[in-house]
Amino acid sequence: MTLPPTRSTSRAIVSLLLAIVLAWAPPLAAQDQPGVPSDTILSDTTLQILLPRPVPAVTVKDTQDDGGGSITVTWEASADDGDGGIINRYVIYRATSAEGPFEEVGDATNNATTFSDGSAEDDVAYFYRVVPMTLALAGQPVPPALVEGAMVAGPVSSSAQWLDWRRINVLVGVLLLCVFIIYYINQAKAGKSLFIRKIAGLEAVDEAVGRATEMGKKIYYIPGTQDMDNVQTIAGVTILGRVAELAAQYETYLQVPVSRSLVLVTAREIVKEAYSKAGRPDAFQEDQVHYLTDDQFGYAAGIDGMVVREKPATIFFMGAFYAESLILAETGNSIGAIQIAGTGMPSQLPFFVAACDYTLIGEELFAASAYLSREPKLLGSLKGQDMGKAVILIAIVVGLVLETFGIWSFSRLFSVIQ
């Protein structure tokens, strides 16, 4: 006869079965825990690193309005990104095949959803992957599982566009300026009088040359210390033609010491042509235009020595000058010469203003050739540029009023980067 088990015996059997189940059951998975990302990896037996959830969508396209060599990658943020999220950054991978191998081409911070790959080659098809990285993975190699599990987007290739629509306002401005210049050149060619503001330094050229003639002394013309590739030197030698023509007419000796070989050749031809234009080719002497040295302060010292010894009545400083400007101008001032200077170097202008009788400031130097020669193309270009500046000034005033009173965001018309 078999007796039924007692209550204590049943409890012992249930406890034994529960212990066996707990011993053989797997540990609780991370994805079963509320609020924990779906994937996990174990870096060792004690540390568990949570992997972020991947980005749900990735799109790639050729970067618009550029010169090529760039692809824009856009993605939707991972569900683990945002305030309080675990995303540290996004790593962008690129390959020439959908199967890989993928290589890292850059990264973006958390909360970012776009990346511009500026290292792409035009007409080459690329595939991209965007891999989110967590704070726990910061400073560590990217787990291969993350790269292999990321969505592949592509193919896409870059190419250059003919027109950058973001800078269409610049094109409109250039076309408007060209219209002004062409219009005034035609007006000048037709013989119509164009008003140009008087420039005191250029008005005084005749007076300065005449003074040297009356005193029976030389005129010194210094075209700066730079070579012919400098626009200020070009402007300087252009003015030299007018001064040389006056000197030939007044039979006054003009001396032009230069510091560059190309300037020597150019200035000599200009002076020679000016003497011929004045009807005095016989008065031209080759050594009127001579070379001193390429050395900046050696050139300044050489001119100072000649100025102190020969005491010219008039000195012109027209071109690019640096630290030697005050040395030259102060030496000329000490002998009582009338001095006319012109340069586009802002840092040297105060020295010329302090030590010279007249100073052409900035763009006045470049306008001098048109002012002196009255040649229709130069005069029309100068007048057209002045009209362009007038339009800009009017736009500034209008924009100031509209922006100040909050009527309209006028400055958007002049934005070139969107």
**pLDDT tens-digit map of 162-177:** 888 888 888 898 999 9
Which of 330, 362, 336 has the alpha carbon at shortest distance from 347? 362
Helix (H, G, I), strand (E, B) or coil at 283: helix
pLDDT top residue among 13 and 384: 384
Burial class (CB in 10 A: 0-12, 13-18, 19+), 373: middle
The answer to whether 385 touches 183, Cβ cutoff 8 Å, is no
CA dist 109 and 39 (Å) reads 22
Q: Exposure string (b/e) for 4-27, b if CB count within 10 Å is 16 or more?
A: eeeeeeeeeeeeeeeeeeeeeeee
Q: How does residue 336 score in pLDDT terms, banded at 50, 70 and 90?
A: very high
Cα angle, residue 245 at apex, residues 243 and 249 outer, rounded to 5°: 115
- Predicted confidence (pLDDT) at residue 377 exceeds the cutoff of 60: yes
| Amino acid sitting at position 46 | T
Q: How does residue 20 score in pLDDT terms, banded at 50, 70 and 90?
A: low
The answer to whether 247 touches 219, Cβ cutoff 8 Å, is yes
pLDDT digits (tens, 9 = 90+) for 316-330: 999 999 999 999 999
Percent of the chain with pLDDT over 90: 38
